[in-house]
Chain A
Amino acid sequence: MYAYDKYDHALVNARVEEFRDQVNRRVKGELTEEEFRPLRLMNGLYLQLHAYMLRVAVPYGTLNGTQMRKLAHIARKYDKGYGHFTTRQNIQYNWPKLSETPDILQELADVEMHAIQTSGNCIRNVTTDQFAGATADEVADPRPYAELIRQWSTFHPEFSFLPRKFKIAITGADIDRAAVKWHDIGLVVKKNDAGEIGFEVLVGGGMGRTPVIAKTIRDFLPEKDLLSYLEAILRVYNEQGRRDNKYKARIKILVDALGADEYARQTEEEWQKIKDQPIDFPAEEAARIKAYFAPPPLQVLSDDVPAVDELAKKNFLFAAWLQNNTNQHKVPGHVNVTISLKPHGGIPGDATAEQMDLVAALADEYSQGELRISHEQNLILPHVAKKDLPAIWTDLDEAGLGIPNAGLLTDIIACPGLDYCSLANARSIPLAQQLGKRFDDFKRLQDIGPLKIKISGCINSCGHHHAGHIGILGVDRKGEENYQLLLGGSGAEDASKAAILGPGFDENGIIDAVEKVVAVYLGEREEGEEFLATYRRVGPQVFKEAVYDAR
C-alpha cells in the first residue's frame, strides 16, 4: 500500500489546522455561511436532510486494518455507531457535528486519511477495480497510476475550479469492475504488441440526467505520457466546458457537442505543446510509487483444498458463498473475498463499528492487513489463502456478514435517497430492503444467477441506475414517491444505457414489477444465459407485456 511521505503528512496536517481555524471563525461569526460553505465542502462536509454528512476519501478503495479500525472508532465516538460505504469507494458518516469535524479530520490524518477531493468541482478521488493487484485477469495493477493521478491532481491549481466535478476511473483487468466507461475519463491499462504498458483513454462518460457512455479517444497511450495527456484533456475541458448551466457543465456535454474525434484532435494539439515539459513523473518516481504496490509475498499453494470442498458439500450457503463471493487470485491457492454489505432486509453499504472492527481483524489475520471497498458497496479481503476460507466465513457469518449474494439479484446498489439526501425525490433504501425480503431464498437467487439491480433516489444517479441490468429511479409524482423501471444497462466492459420500460410504479408496484421481469427472464433464457444477455437477445417487448398488460 501507498505510505505517506513527509510532504503528504505535512499537507494533510496543515489542512486539518486550516479547517479547524475556519470552523472557529464560522462559529464566531467571522465567516458567513456563504463564505464557509465552499470551504467545508472542500473538506468533505455536506449538509444533508437531518444533519451534516462527512464524506471520507478512501483513495482507489484501498485501506489497511488500522485505517478501518479508525473508521470504526470515528463511527462510535463521533457518529451513531455506523457508516455508509458508497459507490465511489468512499465512506460517509451521517451525523457528525460541525464542532467536532476538525477532530475527526485529525484522527483521520493520524492514519494517513482525509476528506480531500470528495466534493467540489475538482478532480475527485480516482476509483478502480476492487481486486486491483490481486486478480488473475489483470494486465497490470492500476493503483500505482491511480496514486500518480492522485498526487498530480490534489490541489492542482489549474483544475481546482473546473466547470463541474470530474471523475476518473482506471482498470487493469479484462473484466471492468470499475465502470470506467461511465466516468469523465476512463483508463484501461493495456499491453501493446511489443509488451509495453499503456492505456486506452476514454472521455465523456457520465450519469445524471444525461447518461452517456465514454468514447475512446486514444487506443494506446504510452505509460510515461499519462499525466501530460490527462492535463491536455482537462485543459480542453476547462477552457470550453460550459459554466453557464450546471446541467450542461460536465465533460460529456462538451464531448458530445464537439464530437469525440474533434475532442481527440484538440487534446492532441494541446498535448503536443506540453508533452515534453516536466509534467510527467520521472521514471524513478514512478518506480518508487510502484514499489509501494509490490505484490505481497504469497506462497504458491494448491487450489485443491479438501477442507473447503467438504464444507461446501455439507453447507449450501458456504458453497454459494464460495462460488459468488470469491475471485481467483493471481497466485494459485489464493482468492479475493467479497464481504457482502447487502444482508436481506438491511441497508446496502451500511456497516456498524463492530462489523468494521471485525473486518479489520480479519484483514490483519488473513489478508496481509489489506482491505478494499468496491463500487458495489461491498468490502474485500484480498490475498486470502483458500485454506483459510472456512474460518473466515464462520467469523463473518456470526457477525451477519457471510451473505453469499455477491453479484446476485440482492447485491443491490442503492443511494441514500430520501432517507438521508436533501436532493432526493424518493427513498431508495426501502426498495432494496423489500427486494431482499422478496427474494430471500438463496436457492432461487443462485438459479436466477448474476443480475445487477441499481437504485437512485433522483436523476443525479448516485445509485448508477442507468447502468443497472435492472435500474430503478425514484421520482416525485404529485408529492408521492414513484419509481421508474429501466432495463438493459451495464457498467462493465460491455457498457450500455438502461432504457425506461414504461410508466412508473408505487413502492409495492415496483417490487412486483421486478419479480415479473425476473419471471420473464427465467422463461426466456437459453441454457447458461445470464439476465443481461437474454434481455439483449429478446428485447424489451416481452418484458413490457408481462409487466404492464396484466395490470
Chain B
Amino acid sequence: MARKIKGPQMIVANRLLDGRVVFLKADGGWSAVAADAAVAADEAGVDALEALAQKSADDNFVLSIEVIDATERDGKPYPAHMKFAMQALGPSVRPDLGYQVSPAWEQTDL
C-alpha cells in the first residue's frame, strides 16, 4: 500500500495478555523500551514494519498497532509526540510507577 510519510516512523502496540506497551523491533519481535524500536525512513520500510506487526497481531500477541512519528533521544529511537512518549513511560503524574520506573518492569525482551 503506497503511503506518504513525513519523517521516520516506528510502531507501537499493546501486548494482548496484559496490555503492556511494546515497540516493534527490526526482527519482528517486540521490546518494552522505545530505544529498541525499529525505525523506517521511507514508505517501503514502513510497509515492511507494518507487515511484521500485523503478523504478530494475527498470531494474537499484540493489538492496537499504531504507526507513529519517531525522533531520537540520546541517539536512540523515541516517540516524537507527547502522547506516545507518555505511552512509552507511563502516567506523568505517577513517576513512581509505570514503565518509567524500570524498563524491566517485566522483561524488556519479549
Whether B60 lies near A50 (C-beta < 8 A) is no
Contact A98 B83 (CB under 8 A): no
Give the chain B neighbours of A96 by CB distance below 8 A: 19
Q: Tell whether B2 is near chain A: CB-to-CB under 8 Å.
A: no
A99 to chain B, nearest CB (A): 5
* Nearest CB in chain B to that of A428: its residue: B93
Please, how many residues of chain A have a CB less than 8 angstroms from a CB on the other chain?
Answer: 29
Question: Which single member of B16, B21, B93, B97 contacts A429 (CB below 8 Å)?
Answer: B93
- A47-B19, A52-B19, A98-B17 in contact; A347/B99 too (CB < 8 A)? no
Residues of the A chain whose Cβ atoms lie less than 8 Å from the Cβ of B98: 50
Q: Is the CB of B19 within 8 A of A98?
A: yes
Q: Which of A326-334, A379-387, A417-425, A464-472 contacts B (4 or more CB under 8 A)?
A: A417-425
Stretch at the interface among A2-10, A25-33, A305-313: A25-33
Given A27-B60, A51-B18, A97-B19, does the pair A479, B91 have CB atoms closer than 8 Å? no
A49: CB under 8 A from chain B?
yes
Cβ contacts A310-325/B at 8 Å (1 or 0 each): 0000000000000000
- Chain B contacts of A47 at CB under 8 A? 14, 19, 63-64
Contact A49 B17 (CB under 8 A): no
B54-78 CB contacts (< 8 Å) to partner A: 57, 59-60, 63-64
Say whether B21 contacts A50, CB under 8 Å: yes
Whether a CB of chain A sits under 8 angstroms from the CB of B31 is no
- Let me know if B102 is at the binding interface, CB within 8 A: no
Q: Are B19 and A481 in contact (CB under 8 A)?
A: no
Bound-state Cα–Cα, A96 to B18, Å: 7
Residue in A27, A50, A98, A481 whose beta carbon sits within 8 Å of that of B91 in the complex: A50
Contact with A along B1-45 (1 / 0, CB 8 A): 000000000000010111111000000000000000000000000
Q: Does B82 contact A (CB under 8 A)?
A: yes
List residues of chain B with CB within 8 A of the CB of A52. 18-19
- Interface pair B83/A424, CB less than 8 Å apart: yes
Measured CA separation A99–B18 after assembly (Å): 7
**Knowing A33-B57, A33-B63, A424-B83 touch, does A430 contact B20 (C-beta < 8 A)?**
no
Among A33, A80, A481, contact of B97 (Cβ-Cβ < 8 Å): A80
Q: Is the CB of A430 within 8 A of B93?
A: yes
Q: Shortest distance in angstroms between A341's beta carbon and chain B's nearest beta carbon?
A: 14
Say whether A427 faces chain B, with CB atoms less than 8 Å apart: yes
Contacts of A433 on B, CB cut-off 8 Å? 93
Q: Once the chains bind, are A51 and B19 in contact (CB under 8 Å)?
A: yes
B87 to chain A: closest residue by CB: A49
**What residues on A are CB-neighbors of B91 within 8 Å?**
50, 94, 419-420, 429
Asked if A97 and B18 sit within 8 Å, CB to CB, the answer is yes
Chain B residue at minimal CB-CB distance from A419: B91
B104 interfacial by beta-carbon distance below 8 Å: no
CA of A425 to CA of B99, assembled, Å: 21
Q: Which of A80, A94, A97, A418 contacts B83 (CB 8 A)?
A: A418
> Which residue of chain A has the shortest Cβ distance to B84 in the bound complex?
A49
Chain A, residues 135-176, CB within 8 Å of chain B (1/0): the string is 000000000000000000000000000000000000000000
Are A50 and B93 within 8 A (Cβ)? no
How far in angstroms is the closest Cβ of chain A from B59?
8
Which of B16, B64, B82, B92 interacts with A98 by CB under 8 Å?
A: B16
Q: How far is the CB of A19 from chain B (nearest CB, A)?
A: 15
Residues of A within 8 A of B87 (CB): 49-50
**Are B17 and A27 neighbours in the complex by a CB distance under 8 Å?**
yes
CB nearest neighbor in A for B60: A29
27 chain-A/chain-B pairs, Cβ below 8 angstroms:
A26-B16, A26-B60, A27-B16, A27-B60, A28-B60, A47-B19, A47-B63, A49-B21, A49-B86, A50-B87, A50-B90, A50-B98, A51-B14, A51-B18, A51-B19, A51-B21, A96-B19, A97-B17, A97-B19, A99-B17, A347-B94, A418-B86, A419-B91, A419-B93, A420-B91, A427-B92, A433-B93
The interface of chain A, by Cβ under 8 A from chain B, is 26-29, 33, 47-52, 80, 94-99, 347, 418-420, 424, 427, 429-430, 433, 479, 481
5 A-B pairs with least C-beta separation: A51-B19, A419-B91, A97-B18, A52-B19, A29-B60
